[in-house]
Structure formats: structure tokens, C-alpha cells
């Protein structure tokens, strides 16, 4: 399912226009100004009980070897997004 399909399904289920559904999906999932992305940028987490937790995890600086060569590359410390599925979602998908 892509974003357009998600918008259509939300509009049908909530009996609203596609435009209103798109605004809701953008408010939650947009990278530039979405609720989840904004919280992760602030190094926080978004926990949706039963569904899962979105969080920002930290990776320290490290050197890694380029496969097939003896060259190494340095990667600086950074944060990355992480998602951990909740128990209810895991049980449902099984």
C-alpha cells in the first residue's frame, strides 16, 4: 500500500473527502512537518499502545571496512529512526 491508497482507505472508512484524509495523513507522516518526524527530530518517541513505538536511536561514530577492499570509511555519530511493533500488532500479523 502506498500513500495514495492509504488516503483513499482512510477517506472511505471515516466517510470524509480525499483532501481531508490527505491532510490527516500528511499531518501524521510528513517528513518535513509531520507529528512523528518532529518528535523523532527532537529525540523523543511516539508510543501508540498496541501498535508500536517510533523512536530515535543513537549510533556512535565508527570506522567500517568497505567489502572487497582493505579501505575503511569513517561514519560520524548520528541518530536514526526506529520502529518496534507492539504485542497486539505482532499477534495480529502472525
Quote the pLDDT of residue 10.
97
CA 18, 39, 49, 1 torsion: positive or negative?
positive
Quote the pLDDT of residue 30.
95
Asked if 61 and 75 touch (Cβ cutoff 8 Å), the reply is yes
Q: Is the pLDDT of residue 70 over 90?
A: no
Q: How confident is the model at residue 35 (pLDDT cuts 50, 70, 90)?
A: very high
Name the pTM for this structure. Answer: 0.80
Task: Give the residue-averaged pLDDT of 53-64.
Answer: 95
Task: Give the residue-averaged pLDDT of 47-62.
Answer: 96
Q: How confident is the model at residue 49 (pLDDT cuts 50, 70, 90)?
A: very high
Q: Distance between CA atoms of 73 and 31, rounded to whole angstroms?
A: 28
Amino acid at each position: 500500500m502506498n500513500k495514495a491508497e492509504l488516503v483513499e482507505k482512510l477517506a472511505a472508512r471515516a466517510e470524509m473527502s480525499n483532501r481531508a484524509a490527505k491532510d490527516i495523513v500528511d499531518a501524521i507522516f510528513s517528513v518535513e512537518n509531520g507529528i512523528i518526524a518532529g518528535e523523532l527530530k527532537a529525540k523523543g518517541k511516539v508510543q501508540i499502545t498496541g501498535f508500536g513505538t517510533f523512536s530515535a536511536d543513537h549510533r556512535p561514530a565508527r570506522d567500517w571496512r568497505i567489502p572487497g577492499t582493505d579501505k575503511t570509511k569513517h561514519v560520524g555519530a548520528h541518530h536514526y529512526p526506529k520502529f518496534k511493533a507492539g504485542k497486539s500488532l505482532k499477534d495480529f500479523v502472525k
